[in-house]
Structure 1
Amino acid sequence: MKKPIMPKVSKSELKARLSSVHAWELPKVTGAIAPDYVWTNHDMDPVPLHDQTWSVWTILAYWASDLMNLSTWETAGSVLAVGLSWREAIPIMFVGTSCIAIPMILNGAIGSRLHVPFSVIVTSSFGSYLRYFAIVSRCILAMFWLGIQCANGAICITIMLTAWAPSYADIPNHLPDSAGITTQGMCSFFLFWLFQLPLLLIHPTKLRPFLLVKVVATPVCALATMGWAVNKAGGAGDIFALEAEVKPGSSAYAWLWLSSMTSVTGSWATLAVNIPDFTRYAKSPNGQFVQAPFIPILFTICGIVGIITTSASKVITGEYLWNPLDIIALWLDLGSGGRCAAFFAALAWFIATVGTNATANSISAANDLTVLFPRWINIKRGCLIAAVIGGWVLVPWKILSSATTFLSFMGGYSVFLAPISGIMAADYWLVKKQRFDLPALYDPHGRYRYILGCNWRAAVAFLVPVVPLIPGLAFSINGYPKVKISDGAQHLYTFNWLFGFVTSIFLYTSLSWLVPAREALVKDTVWTPQGDGIEGVTPVLDSESQQIPIHPTDEKVHHRTSLDAKVL
């Protein structure tokens, strides 16, 4: 059999092909703090002073934007569904988000002080190569959630178009049942994806106006929906008269309480890991501490609004409607006024869904991609890639229509993310004592290489809390009797996030103290590459703002030795 003849390519044609590929390369940042043999781009380098635009109010707007979404509204429903009442749902939401606010602050401070993303920070604790496990895990999860949010946003588009043109509801279906979506649903999905794409490409430093729009639109819509439901029902309904189906004080009650709290914390476990991706743009190193009271208070208020509205919906329809879009869809039958109200209400939730994708999923994945492929991808390109993969490659409409076990796995992914956030926090606050060698974070052969690019202390602190939780995760995905586990393993899984976070902190700190990696410790924060044989060189801080007034690419850099350095 003859070998296939490969077409000959001339040198000029080959050169043209290669040049077209290299045309997509990003310009290597001149004067970056990474060594010359490491490729970096502007978006993975420390944020320059002129881009540190996030004030305390921007951070508040960010969280107000992120917390006001369909998932927050429906959280209380998941608590009541397991047999508890509103008396348990409200404190569970508050305690759960108070717990998640702790790593938000601890890890958020790293970003606000060093102004670098999560995918760079994690080098210090995991090592220059093991870090890619944490980065890839976070990146893939962000893309999956981006696609799922797109599927939810498509429902908003369907309501908006049906309100504007009622005939849109009559589009015939030409897709098979195996597709997991109807023709109308595919049209709505495509339109949502298309409309959100320009908003996803907004750079984090320019997100402020969009966040403010969402902060106004979504609460107005939520309160209006609640007001209509309560007025239509003639009161708040019977949900506040319901008692818990499980006897308070019993062991079953305690495990249900912990399990529900874990579902609340687990839904924000991703941001607890990569919150530095946003706080890196903060003006003040301490401005992000406002998250501590704001996150649990706002989340609980949103949940209470959802409880009241859902309770009233039982009087109106005969069943509890936990999805506000189901309530808004009722307005389509109330004439032109109802259709108008439905259109603008769906528009508000559309903005809320896009905001969640932009702030929690798209930018998070993009930051990870910039470190995985710094030669080719910056934040804008990363957002585009995440939108394509999350929206189309992962076919999220099939995930929502048929793969309920996959959604259980997504909810249980906090098993893996909790130890990562705990290790990061312990490394910065307890082991490194807030003193990092910033250039070494970009150097695969620097002080954070550890052994073959892996910090075994982080590996142990990650595996020890994860391994005993795997049986519980498998049980939650497949259910009994496919997977049989002991009661102890099942109960341990009910508070998996708290167990993973606390255990990883204890193990990583203990191992780092007992067997310290001395080469990874510095006496003072190192901000710029060492020069003239002076160790611990750091830029002079602005006396008023206490911010670094320079960026490694700036022309004029003032230095002083570590003996005189002031540590943030």
Structure 2
Amino acid sequence: MSWLTSKFRALGDRQSWALHPEPSFLAPNSKLSNRDMDPTPPEKRTWKMVNFTTYWISDTFNVASWDQASALLTLGMSAGQALACIFVGNLIISWAITATGTIGARHHVPFPVLNRSSFGFYLSYFSIIGRCILACFWQGIQTATSGECVYQMIRAIWPSFEDFPNHLPSSANITSANLLAYFIYWAFQFPWVLIPTHKLRWLFALKSVLVIICGFSMMIWAFIRAGGAGPIFLQPATLSGSKLAWAWLAGLQSVLGTYSTLSVNIPDFTRMARAPRDQYVQLIVTPISFTIIALQGIVVTSTGYILYGDYYWDPLRLMNNWDNRAATFFAAFAFAVATLGTNIGANSISAANDFTALLPRWFNIRRGQVLCAIIGAWVIIPWEILANFMSGYTVFLGPICAIMVVDYWFIRGQKLDVPALYDPNGKYRSTAGVNWRAVAALVVSIPPNLPGLINAINPSIPVWGGVYPRALISYLQFFLAAVTYFIVCKIFPPLQTFVPETITGEEEYPSTPSDERDEK
């Protein structure tokens, strides 16, 4: 009893929550970094080309990708134009992903550390905090989506679950049945955040096989049951000329706005690459995977109109019409597992790296994922989130990506002093920890797009002509930030941060294998 009492007392002691790992071998002290922020040691660089391939195949299969074409068709495009728009948009994203991913693959450090080279040691916290908040929001949104998958799974096993009594008021915006399904999924997802990041490649490999089977099975079933591809493919575009051009730009923005976060998240995974060339496959896999899942969504939705008399872009709503309970369970399970991988790969790991960079004495990646799972699911209340606001987060991430790409590839000649990234008083400190050149690029690139974002959140607020830049938001932001940063750096080059050759600091790596340290 006394032992249990002492344990409870320890929980109230703030110091008992502090981490006690071996200190970072590059940072001056343990308050600035820990081993999870250090460069990935050689024995954890296990990701090969096949792992990045399965990562993207699995990451693209989710409800958002499935019904992405619906927004483009609503704009007035034909099915072929919508698919072309999705392919081109994701091709653009794949270049940005590979550009930032190569930095992580070469230097084996995560986004929060890499960002210091272009933003300055302390200004990097602006990027870190912004990405962390957005990752927690999206973690909750994806968990809510997966809760709907669990609802369909339970309904397939227990049909009367649809009549589950609701004890929540309408103001809660969720029923008791949906909340129960939501909690079940959250409890299923939680243990996965405890798996070390470098071992998650097995989850993505398993998920890629599952989603390929599910996606093509649904598409083949739709073809056979409906006797063809359905009416959507026969509908011509309702726009032409300049209106079609603006719709294309808006469509590309829709694609870029949904997935541009991946361009700043990917270093958290490419840091584990066996060699930089292993992640170049993203250039091909990313646009092809997103386009295939969009094609599957169009086909199944189109044939669903023939079978059920309505367009069900949300596959989870489509399942309500199925009388095959086994098929419903398998499809819902596939989407649940698919969203699990997407949630961990695109949100949970990112937030965990950010928490670790912000408070390295108190957080490692495992603790960071646990906190993200709690905040995203239970603090944010994801079923009440304003979706239009979340779709506008490229206002901040686009310029961050542009500055990092230009800084590394065109200003520094692809050379970094990795140990200096961990020193607040080192060469990447800049002026009081702030690279004013990055501030200038942010000031130029962000404001022009704010009126369109405000109008998207609340259409009743008049912004007049300010709404039009929103259709160009991603291109305009990236271009303005990139050009501004490039020009300013050429006029006022950060000479004190240049190095003739990359300094890796690998000679300081400890000899003890990392897995053995983890056991300790």
Give the TM-score of the pair, scaled to structure 2.
Answer: 0.94
- Contact 1:30–1:553 at 8 Å: present in 2 too? no
Q: What secondary structure, in the 3-state scheme, does the structure 2 residue paired with 1:526 have?
A: coil
- Gap runs ≥5 in structure 1: 1-12, 400-405, 529-538, 540-549, 557-568
The aligned counterpart of 1:99 is 92
Tell me the alpha carbon deviations over residues 491-533 of structure 1, each in whole angstroms, 9 at most, x when there is no partner: 22202111111221111111111101111111121222xxxxx
2:421 paired residue number: 441
Which residue number in structure 2 is paired with residue 460 of structure 1? 440
1:264-303 aligned within 5 A:
264-303=255-294
Q: How far apart are the structure 1 equivalents of 2:97 and 2:125?
A: 21
Aligned 8 A contact 1:46 1:551 in 2: no
Q: Distance in 2 between matches of 1:201 and 1:79?
A: 38
How far, CA to CA, are the matches of 2:74 and 2:30 in structure 1?
56
Distance 1:37 1:309, change over 3 A: closer
The answer as to 2:398 corresponding to 1:418 is: yes
Find the counterpart in structure 1 of residue 369 from structure 2. 383
Q: Residue 114 of structure 1 aligns to which amino acid in structure 2? A: H
- AA paired with 1:504? A
Indicate whether 1:503 and 2:480 are aligned.
yes
The change in CA–CA distance for 1:476 and 1:30 in structure 2 (over 3 A counts) is: closer
Distance in 2 (CA, whole Å) between partners of 1:460 and 1:31 is: 33
Letter in 2 for 1:137: G
- What is the aligned partner in structure 2 of residue 484 from structure 1? 463
Question: Partner letter of residue 49 of structure 1?
Answer: P
The total of aligned residue pairs comes to 506
Find 1:521's aligned residue among 498, 507, 510.
Answer: 498
Following superposition of structure 1 onto structure 2, how do residues 106-117 of structure 1 map, counting pairs within 5 Å? 106-117=99-110
State the partner residue of 1:553.
Answer: 510
- Partner of 2:219: helix, strand, or coil? helix
Identity %: 43
TM-superposed CA distance for 1:376, in Å, is: 0.8
Residue 38 of structure 1, CA deviation: 4.4
Contact 2:24 2:35 in 1 (8 A): no
Q: Distance in 2 between matches of 1:17 and 1:149?
A: 35
Assess if the C-alpha contact under 8 Å between 2:219 and 2:299 holds in 1. yes
Describe the SS at the equivalent of 1:502: helix
Query: What letter corresponds to residue 269 of structure 1 in structure 2?
Result: S
Q: Is the 8 A contact 1:163 1:342 kept in 2?
A: yes
Per-residue Cα deviation, 1:447-467 (whole angstroms, up to 9, x for no partner): 111111111100111120111
1:308 corresponds to: 299
2:516 alignment counterpart: none
Aligned ranges for residues 144-155 of structure 1 at < 5 Å? 144-155=137-148
Where do residues 213-224 of structure 1 align in structure 2 (5 Å cutoff)?
Answer: 213-224=206-217
Distance 2:504 2:208 in 1: 36
For 1:115, the aligned partner's letter is: H
Deviation track 1:60-81 (CA, whole Å, cap 9, x = no partner) reads 1111110111111111111001
Q: Do the aligned partners of residues 18 and 359 (structure 1) sit closer, same or farther apart at CA in structure 2, a change above 3 Å counting?
A: closer
Match of 2:131 among 133, 138, 150: 138
Aligned match of 1:562? none
The answer for the alignment partner of 2:354 in structure 1 is 368
Whole-Å Cα distance in 2 between the matches of residues 408 and 426 of structure 1? Answer: 29
1:30 Cα shift? 4.0
- Whether contact under 8 Å (2:97, 2:262) holds in the other structure is yes
Alignment of 1:3-82 (within 5 A): 20-30=13-23, 32-36=25-29, 38-82=31-75
- Give 5+ residue unaligned stretches, structure 2: 1-5, 514-520
User: CA shift at 1:102, angstroms?
Assistant: 1.3
1:183 corresponding residue in structure 2: 176
Secondary structure of the structure 1 residue equivalent to 2:276: coil
* Shift in alpha-carbon separation, 1:31–1:127, aligned structure 2, 3 A: closer
Change (3 A) 1:494 1:26: same
Whether contact under 8 Å (1:474, 1:483) holds in the other structure is no
Q: Following superposition of structure 1 onto structure 2, how do residues 112-127 of structure 1 map, counting pairs within 5 Å?
A: 112-127=105-120
Contact 1:255 1:491 in 2 (8 A): no
Q: CA deviation at 1:44?
A: 0.6
Instruction: Give me the CA root mean square deviation.
Output: 1.7
Write the distance in 2 (CA, Å) between the matches of 1:59 and 1:482: 43
Do the aligned residues in 1 keep the contact of 2:23 with 2:35 (CA within 8 Å)? Answer: no
Deviates more, 1:421-430 or 1:20-29: 20-29
* Alpha carbons 1:181, 1:398 under 8 Å: kept: no
**1:138-169 alpha-carbon deviations (Å, 9 max, x no partner):** 01101101101111101111111111112222
Give the C-alpha shift of residue 306 in structure 1. Answer: 1.1
Q: Does 1:254 align with 2:245?
A: yes
2:380 alignment partner, one of 375, 385, 394: 394
Separation in 1 of the partners of 2:253 and 2:24? Answer: 45
**Once the 2 structures are TM-superposed, how far is the Cα of residue 277 of structure 1 from its aligned partner?**
0.4
Q: Determine helix, strand or coil for the equivalent of 1:267.
A: helix
Q: Structure 2 vs 1, CA of residues 42 and 31 (structure 1 numbering), >3 Å: closer, same or farther?
A: closer
Give the SS at the match of 1:196: helix
Structure 1 Cα separation of the partners of residues 470 and 23 of structure 2: 49
Alignment partners' CA distance in 2, 1:53 and 1:62: 13
